[in-house]
Chain A
Amino acid sequence: MKKNAYFGLTIVIAILLVLPFVVPNSFYLDLAVRMAINAVIVLGLNLLIGFAGQISLGHAGFLGIGAYASAVLPTHFGWHPLLAMGAGAVITGALAALVARPIFKLKGHYLAMATLGLGIIINIALRNEAQWTGGPDGMPVPAMGLFGFELTNDKQWYWVVALLLSVSVWASLNLIDSPFGRALRALHGSEVASQVVGVDVVRYKVAIFVMSAVFASLMGSVTAHYVGFVSPNFADFFHSIELVTMVVIGGMASVYGSLVGAVLLTALPQALATFEGWETVVFGAILMLSMIFMPKGLVPTLAAKFGKGD
């Protein structure tokens, strides 16, 4: 790991430590928790999209599996929330691994289509199996407890997700500089060239896809417990697009870009609430403008401008 990468991590941890003491009220604390949750998901997705160069337009589906595992298993079968969370991750991992091999024979738009289709199928299933999932209305999620201690208020949740985020940033930085990460970046650069030097291209793609899917599933469970409610919208196409947008606006193949993207796009709907009725128009316009003027994303663009590496 490079020295300045550690420096960035220190800053992230410092911000996370100070934040709860400077936010004016619980509204902003709640926003901070949701930003941190999205940031972890986006970190995982950026490993897939930014570093390995593989697109997924169905990641909200994996989020949905995790969230609904945490809702359905404790409610209908009396499972412990942690066990349910683990089960969600296992189901997601297995599903991702099952479809990954045939999917990653595909490239570009065909890959986009396949992942999009997978996400939509998961969403439709969640919408339709009303006897388990509550259908389009969604269902409540029981509280997360551990050793008789229940996570109830926003402050407790904040420290949990802050810890998760710090660990994820540290793990991502390490992963990128590991042989695994170098292989991913190599296959992004040129698949043929990386094959020639002995990278098992499909195996690495499958591994990173499964990993980012499991990341998403775990954070889906966390969100479900935090919000206390799940609905199929959580797993819909638009949410998948939002996640991809966070990756791209922050900066592809940039760890800190993922954090910036997640923070900005989580805050944006709140900021747009003032444009009564025009939110969708303004949101769409911002997506277009930022991609037209900063196709590489915010952090890499700024980094290039000020002559510093990420």
Chain B
Amino acid sequence: MLAQFLQFLFSGITVGATYALAALGFTLIYNASNVINFAQGEFIMLGGMLAVFFTQAGLPLPMALLLAILIPAIVGVVVEKLAIEPVKGAETVTLIIITIGASLVIRGLTTVIFGKGTHSLPAFSGETPIEILGATLMPQSLWVLGVTALVVIALWYFFNRTLQGKAMLATSVNRLAAELVGINTGWVLFMSFAMSAALGALGGILITPITLTSYDVGIMLGLKGFVAAVVGGLGNGLGAVVGGLLVGILEAMGAGYISSAYKDAIPFVLILLILFFMPRGLFGGKSTDRV
């Protein structure tokens, strides 16, 4: 009973950590530009695929992982420069279609280069499971959770203790006011795309030894990351992390106790219920509309 529950919990928080990283990516870009980046899932995919490609090419693991984070970050910046910046202030629908176009281009190029096969990455520190109260925990899960925790702490430090981070926060509160006090909001937009692509890629790399990867895993992972970001209240960093873990845990519990066939539907049922009763997510503040 307890062992089974723990088992579901472990797999839930592991996947949930990936959703949290994706949700943080959504949050960063949303705060900087009010854009929901539907290409976020493709960065998760890209991270995993590139890590597989570089390790198979014989690069040492740390080098391969670094490149697999760096390249998606560059792709993210290119998307921002070429597709988001030229249409500042466009309607929501227009921006959604542009980012979906970007995701198709990224996915299409990945298929052209790497093919449509499914790939796996060896776990970073062996496959010997750790036993805890009858449930087993893979060492890779510890990597996922540990790195996610470090990233969250680093982000907290960045946004609360450094000038650049505070500049980004200021921009998300009020772009015009930020510009008036001399913050380069163009730079903020640039940084937020680079960071959010890197975060997504990192999540994709960490989870690949557990869930495998292929050219089309980005759609679902990205959409669930979006769910996680909305669960926590769009634009709220802490909310994104809590939302990610919550979505992951509920999904694993639902798959285990209710129906594994409906596993992928669970995050979306959850978000509908939350939005029905709390239209701005769990941590979203009250909003007032300017008329």
A-side interface residues toward B, CB under 8 Å?
A: 49, 55, 57, 99, 102-103, 105-106, 108-110, 112-114, 116-118, 120-121, 124-125, 128, 190, 192-193, 237, 241, 244-245, 247-248, 252, 277-288, 291-292, 295
Asked whether, in the complex, the Cβ of A288 is within 8 Å of the Cβ of B108, the reply is no
Asked whether, in the complex, the Cβ of B90 is within 8 Å of the Cβ of A295, the reply is yes
In the complex with contacts A120-B265, A281-B108, A291-B97 CB distance below 8 A: yes
Asked whether, in the complex, the Cβ of B97 is within 8 Å of the Cβ of A287, the reply is yes
Is B36 an interface position by the 8 A CB rule?
yes
**Which 7 A-B pairs rank lowest in CB-CB distance, beginning with the nearest?**
A284-B104, A280-B108, A287-B101, A281-B108, A288-B101, A117-B268, A284-B105
Asked whether, in the complex, the Cβ of B105 is within 8 Å of the Cβ of A120, the reply is no
Task: Write 7 A-B pairs (CB below 8 A) sorted by A numbering.
Answer: A110-B234, A110-B275, A113-B227, A248-B93, A248-B97, A277-B111, A285-B105
Write out the residue numbers on chain A whose beta carbons fall within 8 Å of the beta carbon of B87: 291-292, 295
Q: Which A residue's beta carbon lies closest to that of B104? A: A284
Q: Mark B82-124, 1 if CB is under 8 A from A, else 0.
A: 0100110011111011101111111111011000000000000
Asked whether, in the complex, the Cβ of A114 is within 8 Å of the Cβ of B265, the reply is no
Asked whether, in the complex, the Cβ of A244 is within 8 Å of the Cβ of B97, the reply is yes
CB distance from A133 to the nearest CB of B (A): 13
A to B contact number (C-beta, < 8 Å): 133
In the complex with contacts A55-B93, A244-B93, A190-B291 CB distance below 8 A: yes
Asked whether, in the complex, the Cβ of A125 is within 8 Å of the Cβ of B92, the reply is no
Q: How far is the CA of A279 from the CA of B112 in the complex (A)?
A: 10
Q: How far is the CA of A128 from the CA of B105 in the complex (A)?
A: 30
CB distance from B255 to the nearest CB of A (A): 12
CB distance from A287 to the nearest CB of B (A): 3
Write out the residue numbers on chain A whose beta carbons fall within 8 Å of the beta carbon of B230: 109-110, 113
Q: Which B residue's beta carbon lies closest to that of A283? A: B104
Is B157 an interface position by the 8 A CB rule?
no
Asked whether, in the complex, the Cβ of B227 is within 8 Å of the Cβ of A105, the reply is no
CB distance from A102 to the nearest CB of B (A): 4
Asked whether, in the complex, the Cβ of B92 is within 8 Å of the Cβ of A112, the reply is yes
Q: Which A residue's beta carbon lies closest to that of B91? A: A295
Is B289 an interface position by the 8 A CB rule?
yes
Q: Mark B266-286, 1 if CB is under 8 A from A, else 0.
A: 001101100110011100000
Q: How far is the CA of A110 from the CA of B269 in the complex (A)?
A: 14
Is B226 an interface position by the 8 A CB rule?
yes
Write out the residue numbers on chain B whose beta carbons fall within 8 Å of the beta carbon of A105: 279
Residue among A112, A241, A247 making CB contact with B36, cutoff 8 Å: A112
Asked whether, in the complex, the Cβ of A102 is within 8 Å of the Cβ of B101, the reply is no
Asked whether, in the complex, the Cβ of A106 is within 8 Å of the Cβ of B279, the reply is yes
CB distance from A37 to the nearest CB of B (A): 22
In the complex with contacts A237-B223, A277-B112, A110-B280 CB distance below 8 A: yes
Q: How far is the CA of A113 from the CA of B276 in the complex (A)?
A: 12
